[in-house]
Amino acid sequence: MEKERIEELERKISSLEEDVAKLKSLVYKTNSPRPAVHAPPKQRQETTKRPAQTAAKSSQAIEEPVDWEKVLFQTWLPRIFIFVFIIGVLWGFKAASDYGLMNEKAKVVLGFVLSIGFAVTGHFQIKKSRLVLGQVLVGGAIPILMLTTFAMHSLYHLAGPTLAFMLNATWITLGIAATVFYRSQALGIISAVGGVLVPFLIESNSPNALVFIGYETFLYIAFLYVAVKQKYSILYVLSAVLLNLTLLIYYSFVGDNDVKGLLGMAILIQHLCLLSSFFLSKSVLQIYAFTLLSSLAVTYGWLLAVFDDGTTTLVLLALVIIYVLGAYAVRSSKEKFEFFITYLIVAVAFFIHQLVDLREGVILYVIQGLAVYYIAMTYKNLLHQLFSYTIYILSATYILVTPIEQVLSLPTLNWLVVLASILVFIWISIQKTEKDEHDTFKIGGSIVFSILSLIFATEVTVAGTTDLSANTQTLIMTAVWLVLSIAAFIIGSLKMFKTATYVGVGILFLTLFKLVLYDLPFIPMAIRALLFIVLGAIGLIISRLFYKKK
């Protein structure tokens, strides 16, 4: 017995020793360094990005306060006082001349030396990271050079017009080069303004329109290229405005028919340059898009001013074709495509206005408004929707306020087009909107259609019964309203438009009110009885049909 106990005890001890050995091995594995576990690439990317994203969010959350001292004293102070300094220099030259301290040649030389000093000083200021001050000084050198050249040519007659023009063209070229080299939009703006003024600073006995307009156009193209290359939005818009303003001033002074063609060509070149810059831009910049839209309207105004009707129509047709091709070319870019469709809409509106008289071609605007609405609803573009509403409402209103004097006439056709367009408008809205909005368009459109149908039927009836007596006119009008009511109810019963049923009942009640409130004094008793019998019978039949549906 005792021997068996000893053997059992030995077994338990050996089992415990094995358990202890296993525990030791586990402890050893836990304390030993673990091999690197490589996370999947995607997980590693997310882990790496998290700190960066957190840092970005924290940097956005903590907004740095505006350093007003830097804004006022380092940014705006030199920009303002460079002009004060230039004015002071001009007055100083004038005072030195008045007191005989300096002759004309000395003033010209001093002007060039001063401008070179400005440019050199500005360059070294930029080198020392005083960017705004340096750019202002370099920029100030350009107008000083131009004013000195102007004085040398116009005031002191030390240089002829050719030399003065070449010198000013050189200063503008230096300004463009400095704009690119120092990457300063302010330099570009100063150079653009100065470059535009150059021809006005040159006196010539035989001014050449081709040279003037060609120079201004070439200058615009140069600054447009710089603005696009350096992404200077202010310079982009300003250069376009300056060209139009300069040509307008020139045209108002010259007013010669011989220069009209040149002016028109310059404006078309500008518009095509804007179109090309927007088309070729990799990203859609809103400033490019809206500048081009404004240019299209301005270009049409110039075309009307400088070209005859035939040429204007051909140019507009060419622009329409260009925008159609442009829309097709950028169809893969949703935003660019939508903008090109906008330009096409505006160009087509101008083309229609140019092609036909408003009274005769107003239905084309109604159709265009519908087409634009379809495009807007297809691409969910708010701007196009606003265009469609504007075109459609203005053209439809013009038609609706035009009286119908004869049954078979153009106003009657226009009215029919508007009524048909409302049905198309409802159909487009139902096709392009969510189901929960369908009833809104159906009910609202049906009410508008019914009211306009009554007005149209009334106007046509009045126009067709002008030679009849008042009693006969009243009877015919009531009969027409009853026919409209029955037609609406029939359409509603065929489930084409369920709301048409209620519209028919509404017209029926309107007819009843018309009989009671207006027609009774003008209708003999026998006819009055007949009308009430017919009206009552129609109401009962409709009520019976509703009961049958229930």
- For CA atoms 124, 125, 129, 134, give the dihedral sign: negative
User: DSSP class of residue 519?
Assistant: I
Write out the chain's pLDDT in tens, 550 residues: 555 666 666 676 776 667 666 666 655 554 544 444 444 544 444 444 444 444 444 444 445 666 655 556 555 566 566 556 666 665 665 666 666 666 778 878 888 888 888 888 888 888 887 777 777 778 778 878 887 887 787 777 788 888 888 888 888 888 888 888 888 888 888 888 878 877 776 666 666 788 888 888 998 999 999 999 888 888 999 999 999 999 998 888 876 777 888 999 999 999 999 999 999 887 767 788 888 888 988 999 999 889 988 899 999 999 999 999 999 998 888 888 888 888 888 898 888 888 877 667 788 888 888 888 887 787 777 777 887 888 888 888 888 888 888 888 888 888 888 888 888 888 888 887 777 666 677 777 777 887 888 888 888 888 888 777 766 777 777 777 777 777 766 666 665 555 556 565 666 666 655 655 555 555 555 555 655 566 566 555 555 555 455 4
- Read off the amino acid at residue 415: W
* 222 inside domain: yes
Alpha-carbon distance 461 to 278, whole Å?
A: 54
Task: Please name which of 190, 78, 206 lies closest in space to residue 145, comparing C-alpha atoms.
Answer: 190
User: What letters, b where the CB count within 10 A reaches 16 and e where it falls short, cover 449-470?
Assistant: bbebbbebbebbbbbbbeeeee
* 6 inside domain: no
User: DSSP class of residue 401?
Assistant: T
Written in H, E and C, the secondary structure of 142-190 is HHHHHHHHHHHHHHCCCCCHHHHHHHHHHHHHHHHHHHHHHCCHHHHHH
Which of 355, 374, 401 is a domain's end point?
Answer: 355
User: What letters, b where the CB count within 10 A reaches 16 and e where it falls short, cover 219-243?
Assistant: bbebbbebbbeeebeebbbbbbebb
Residues 475 and 347 in one domain: no
- First-to-last alpha carbon distance for the chain, in angstroms, is 102
Which of 303, 329, 355 is a domain's end point?
Answer: 355
Cα maximum dimension of the chain: 144
Which of 299, 322, 355 is a domain's end point?
Answer: 355
- Distances from the Cα of 462 to the Cαs of 363, 407, 419, 475, 537, in angstroms? 23, 9, 19, 12, 27
C-beta atoms surrounding 285 within 10 Å: 16
Alpha-carbon distance 382 to 376, whole Å?
A: 7
- Distances from the Cα of 4 to the Cαs of 9, 14, 16, in angstroms? 9, 16, 19
Alpha-carbon distance 461 to 480, whole Å?
A: 8
Question: Domains in the chain: how many in total?
Answer: 2
Question: What domain range includes position 291?
Answer: 207-355
Residues 470 and 349 in one domain: no
* 401 inside domain: no
* 490 inside domain: yes
* 5 inside domain: no
Residues 341 and 472 in one domain: no
Quick one: how far is CA 82 from the chain centroid? 37
Instruction: Tokens 């929707």: give the residue.
Output: 385
Alpha-carbon distance 111 to 538, whole Å?
A: 98
Exposure of 276 by Cβ count < 10 A (0-12 exposed, 13-18 middle, 19+ buried)? Answer: middle
* 259 inside domain: yes
* For the chain, the helix, strand and coil percentages under 3-state DSSP, each to the nearest 5: 85, 0, 15
Alpha-carbon distance 392 to 363, whole Å?
A: 10
- Distances from the Cα of 276 to the Cαs of 225, 339, 345, in angstroms? 11, 14, 19
Q: Model-level pTM?
A: 0.62
* 328 inside domain: yes
The upper half-sphere exposure of residue 450, i.e. CA atoms within 13 Å in the direction of its Cβ, equals 29
* 177 inside domain: no
Alpha-carbon distance 529 to 403, whole Å?
A: 34
